[in-house]
Copies of this chain bind each other. A is one copy, B any other.
Amino acid sequence: MQSLLQSRRTGTSMVFTLEDHQKEEGLLKEAIHRAVQCAQMAPNHKRTEPFSFLQIMNSSSSADQVAEIAYQVAARTRSVPVARKKKEKWSQIPAFLVTLVHKNQKAVLSDSSSGGSSSSSSRSDTVDEISDGTFEPLPYAPPETERQLEDYASASAAIQNVLLSLHADGIATKWATGPVICTPAFRKLVHAKPTDRIAGLIMVGGMDSTQFDSDKMEQITAARRRRRRDVDGDVLQSLLP
């Protein structure tokens, strides 16, 4: 277990490696199903069950739209060739999983009565009313209450379970955030309610090449450990042992 927890890395080359495209997609769907079953078992405070996942397979028109949004967002700040390259790259990704965190109305009500902040509610409640700026990322809106922040924590733990389950199945993943998921176009595509937060776009790859190249794997892990701080001292400290 610990070796799997420690060996998972963000995927870099997300391509199908099996020849039979349809067969691979079937396997991928099964693996995604197992991963979401694992996500469901992540801890959640007060049993709010706050998250859901949306699956977008490469062969769908929705996947084409995701790549198009990535293109439009890149074209806003980068050159057209750079944006085209990005679209081409995103078009190769075998599957996406979108993680939505839902606003628990009951929980929000009980939080409000205990004095939770709600100063920014007007912003997130009008997200879908914006008609222009389809490809312009919306500004950051913080979780309004402690409950909403904890629901986001639960979704993050659930995403980690998804990544680990897919890794155990030898499938590469990348938990992406960034401007694409913040656009009205993307929110519209995934039918996000104005009160939903998109916690991430999980890129789901084909075979996880790191699992089949132990030398490369060891290099990556060693480099990461060097870059990261020490467990004893910086990351794990004792209080009055």
Instruction: Give residues in A with beta carbon < 8 Å to B.
Output: 1-2, 4-8, 10, 32-34, 36-43, 45, 47, 49, 51-57, 60-62, 98, 111, 115-117, 119-120, 139-140, 142-146, 149-150, 152-154, 156-157, 159-161, 163-165, 168, 175, 177, 189-190, 199-200, 224, 227-229, 231-232, 234-241
Contacts and interface: CB of A to CB of B under 8 A. Distances in A.
Contact of A120 (B116, B117, B161, B239): B117
B157 A49 contact: no
Contacts of A1: 1, 4, 164-165, 168
Contacts of A41: 5-8, 224
17 contacts: A1-B1, A1-B4, A5-B41, A33-B236, A39-B235, A40-B231, A43-B163, A49-B228, A53-B236, A55-B241, A56-B238, A57-B238, A111-B140, A117-B139, A140-B145, A156-B160, A157-B160
A227 B49 CA distance: 10
Contact of A43 (B55, B115, B146, B175): B175
A240 B237 CA distance: 49
Contacts of A51: 235
A43 B202 CA distance: 12
State the 5 A-B residue pairs at the shortest beta-carbon distance, nearest first. Answer: A1-B168, A142-B142, A156-B156, A157-B160, A5-B38
A39 B160 CA distance: 11
A149 B150 contact: no
A47 B238 CA distance: 24
Contacts of A164: 1, 5, 164
Given A1-B168, A142-B149, 18 more contacts: A1-B4, A2-B37, A2-B168, A32-B236, A36-B236, A40-B228, A47-B227, A53-B237, A54-B239, A140-B145, A142-B142, A142-B143, A146-B177, A149-B152, A153-B200, A154-B156, A156-B156, A189-B239
Most chain B Cβ neighbours within 10 Å, of A39, A40, A115, A177: A40
